Amino acid sequence: MLEAGRKGLEEMTVTGNDTAQVYKSGTLQVLATPRMAALMEETAWKSVADSLEPGKGTVGTKLELEHLAPTPVGMKVRCESVLEKVEGRKLVFSIVAKDEKGEIGKARHERFIVEEEKFQKKAEQKNG
């Protein structure tokens, strides 16, 4: 059973493939906001994945993100999530990302628990 307080932790080192220039979110060789968002979502979903029933997963439905400082290529980023609320199938997380010099981003993130097979079929029905 999922309870508030569950924590997650993921780390990465920024590479040339993680930059704003590559993600087309800018022209600079710094950690792209979309890449930081992906790390935040990864940290949240992985923090609860092992507590879900077989065949269940989570999908992101909302991400309120602040990117506060740039991170250069070669620097390590540490992302920590905390499950703040469990409201039925809805999970609410607070997330903080830090590089080696301090906080670079924070977010509030919502995910919903879904039946993976049913969810995938629903998506595939859009193809006709």
What is d(CA 87, CA 62) in angstroms, rounded to the nearest whole number? 15
Residue 50 inside a domain? The answer is yes
How much is the average pLDDT of 93-117?
A: 98
- Residues 23-44 have a mean pLDDT of 98
- Catalytic site residue 67? yes
Assess if residue 1 is contained within a domain. no
pTM score? 0.95
Q: For position 77, which CATH number holds?
A: 3.10.129.10
Predicted confidence at residue 71, as pLDDT, reads: 98
Q: Which of 10, 43, 67, 71 is catalytic?
A: 67
pLDDT of residue 117: 97
62 Cβ partners below 8 Å, 6+ apart?
Answer: 108, 109, 110
Q: Domain residues for 34? A: 7-127
Count of domains in the chain?
Answer: 1
Give residue 33's pLDDT.
98
| C-beta neighbour count of 95 within 10 angstroms | 25
Residue 115 falls in the annotated catalytic set: no
Residue 2 lies in a domain: no
Choice among 33, 80, 84, 116 that is catalytic: 33
Annotated catalytic residue: which of 10, 41, 43, 58? 41
Residues 108, 93 contacting (CB under 8 angstroms)? yes
Q: In what order do the strands lie in the sheet with 90-99?
A: 7-13, 76-87, 90-99, 102-115, 56-67
In a domain, 43, yes or no: yes
pLDDT at 1 over 90: no
